[in-house]
Amino acid sequence: MNNAQTSTTIAVRSSFFRADLMSWSAASEELAADDTMPARTPGGMSCPPSDHSPSWMITLSMQALLNDGDEVLIPAPDYPLWTAAVKLAGGNPVHYLCDEEAEWYPDVADVRSKVTARTKGLVIINPNNPTGALYPKEILWELVKIAQEYGLVLFADEIYDRLLFDGREHASVASLTDDVLVVTLNGLSKSHRIAGFRSGWMVLSGNKEGASGYIEGINMLASMRLCANVPSQYVVPKALDDWAGEDALMQPGGRLYEQRECVCKAIGEIPGLSVVKPKAAFYVFPKIDVKQFDIMDDEVFVLRFLQEKQVLLVHGKGFNWPEPDHFRIVYLPEVGELQDAMGRLKAFLGEGGVGRWQGCLCAVQE
C-alpha cells in the first residue's frame, strides 16, 4: 500500500466516528472553507467539490441542462453512462468519432460538422475509457474553440487523469480557458483504488455568465440527494495532499505497467488483432479483423467467447462504437491471469470458421 492509500485509509477511519454527528451539508461547508482545495484540484479551479460520485453527477449535470430534444456531442467510443444520461434527461446523444489512426484522438472536423442549433454541450473523456488515449493540448484547444464559437458547455470527464504511463502529463480542460463554461468531473475511485466509497467532485469553472439557471438546477438536484457519503468527503483533501504526482503502479516494474505490456504483446501475437497502445487508465480497445473471422455481430462474438472460454470482454458497440470490429479488455488482473486469458482468446480465434459468430443473440442464450 502506497502513502496515498495509507493516508486515505487513516482519513476514512478517523472520520467514521463523527460522520453521524454532521450532515452532508456541514461536511461540504468544511471542504468549501478549505482555502488550499483549489490548489490541489487539477487545473487550479476555484469552486468547492460536490458531494457524490462522479457517475451520479454525470446524470445530474445532464438533467439540469437539457430540455427534450436538446443534443450533446459525445465521443465514439464513449463511457456509455454519458449516452444513457443524455437520453434519460430527454436529450439526443450525438456521437463524434475518435480516430484510431490518430492515436484515438477526437476528429475535430467531425465534431464541428455535428454541431446544430440544438447542441448544448460537448463531452470530452480524457484520458479515455475505453481506448486509454490521452489527448494533447493542441486537440483540447481545438475543442475549446468549437465550444466557444457555438456557446456550448464543455464537460470534462477526467477521472483517470492521474493514471498515466511513460512519464506523460495530463492537461485539464478547465486550465485552458476562462471563456467557456467547463464542468469537470473527477474523483478518487480510480487513482486511489477506493471505488466503493463513491468519493468524487464536480467543479464548474470558466465563463458562468448566463449559467445562473443551470447552476440553480444543479444545486436543487444536489440538495435532493440525501445520502451523500460524509466520511468520504473528509478523505478528498487529505488524499490530494498526499498525491506525489506519480503512481508507482504506472512505472516500469509496477503492476499496471507490466499488465499493459503483457496484454499489448499478446494482442500483437494474435493474427487478425491490432491495437493502439494505451497511454493512460487500465483499458485497451483492440481491433479485430471481421472479414478474417467472419464476424457480423460483436456482441455474439463476446458472448460465445464467454460461454466457451469463460473470459468476459465487452463488445465495441457497448461503447457506442458504430462497427462490430472492436472490444475492450480491462487489464487489472495480474500478469499470470492475463496471459491465461489471452491464450484462451488466441485459441478461440484459431478455432473460428466461416459464420462461427453469426446468428442472433437468442441462439447464444439458449
| Interval 99-149: pLDDT, tens | 999 999 999 999 999 999 999 999 999 999 999 999 999 999 999 999 999
Same fold, 3-241 and 252-365: no
Whether 221 shows a pLDDT value over 70: the answer reads yes
Model confidence at 193, pLDDT cuts 50, 70, 90, reads confident
Model confidence at 353, pLDDT cuts 50, 70, 90, reads very low
Q: What pLDDT does residue 322 have?
A: 95
Between residues 26 and 16, the one the model is more confident about: 26
Q: Yes or no: say if 312 and 265 are a contact pair by the CB < 8 Å rule.
A: no
Q: Check whether the bond before 77 is cis (ω within 30° of 0).
A: yes
**Pick from 150, 154, 253, 147: nearest CA to 203:** 154
Q: How far is CA 290 from CA 101, 272, 287, 325, in A?
A: 18, 8, 9, 6
- Average pLDDT, rounded, for the chain: 84
Give me the mean pLDDT over the 326-339 stretch: 97
Least confident of 48-52, 243-247, 257-261, 317-321: 48-52
Q: What pLDDT does residue 230 have?
A: 73
Q: What are phi and psi of 342, to 5 degrees?
A: -70, -30
Q: What pLDDT does residue 246 have?
A: 67
Q: What pLDDT does residue 355 have?
A: 52
Between residues 54 and 250, the one the model is more confident about: 250
Give me the mean pLDDT over the 67-88 stretch: 97
**Pick from 354, 331, 364, 174: nearest CA to 265:** 331
Report the CATH superfamily, name and number, of domain 252-365: Aspartate Aminotransferase, domain 1 (3.90.1150.10)
pLDDT one-digit tens code per residue, 238-280: 888 877 666 889 999 999 999 999 999 999 999 999 999 999 9
Percent of the chain, pLDDT > 90? 66
Q: Yes or no: say if 286 and 133 are a contact pair by the CB < 8 Å rule.
A: no
Model confidence at 31, pLDDT cuts 50, 70, 90, reads low
Least confident of 13-27, 162-176, 184-198, 305-319: 13-27
- Domain coordinates of the chain in residue numbers? 3-241, 252-365
Q: 3-class secondary structure for the chain?
A: CCHHHHHHHHHHHHHHHHHCCCCHHHHHHHHHCCCCHHHHCCCCCCCCCCCCCHHHHHHHHHHHHCCCCCEEEEEECCCCHHHHHHHHCCCEEEEEEEEHHHCCEECHHHHHHCCCCCEEEEEEECCCCCCCCCCCHHHHHHHHHHHHHHCCEEEEECCCCCCECCCCCCCCHHHHCCCCCEEEEEECCCCCCCHHHCCEEEEEECCCCCCHHHHHHHHHHHHCCCCCCHHHHHHHHHHHHCCCCCCHHHCCCCHHHHHHHHHHHHHHCCCCEECCCCCECCEECCEECHHHHCCCCHHHHHHHHHHHHCCCCEEHHHHCCCCCCEEEEECCCCHHHHHHHHHHHHHHHHCCCCCCCCCCHHHHHC
**What is the architecture of the domain spanning 3-241?**
3-Layer(aba) Sandwich (3.40)
